[in-house]
Amino acid sequence: MSCRTPGHRGARRTIAVTVYLVTGVLTAAAVAAAVWFGVAAVQSVWEHALARM
């Protein structure tokens, strides 16, 4: 059964906003981690290349 009261609509909106915010934060964290790992990989390759010179 569903409840069609104004409070129910507000609760659904609050849940939706919370889900969007959590998704955004997790996406930003994933992008930051990917960039960090990419920079670390490039530095590792440069260290190896310079060590062979």
pLDDT confidence of residue 17: 95
Query: Which stretches within 1-53 are classed as H helix?
Result: 6-51
pLDDT confidence of residue 6: 62
pLDDT confidence of residue 27: 98
Q: Give the pTM.
A: 0.66
As given in the structure block, the two tokens for residue 11 are 């609760």
pLDDT confidence of residue 3: 60
- Sign of the alpha-carbon dihedral angle for 10, 12, 13, 19: positive
pLDDT confidence of residue 4: 64
Tell me: the pLDDT tens digits for 5-49? Answer: 666 777 889 999 999 999 999 999 999 999 999 999 999 999 998
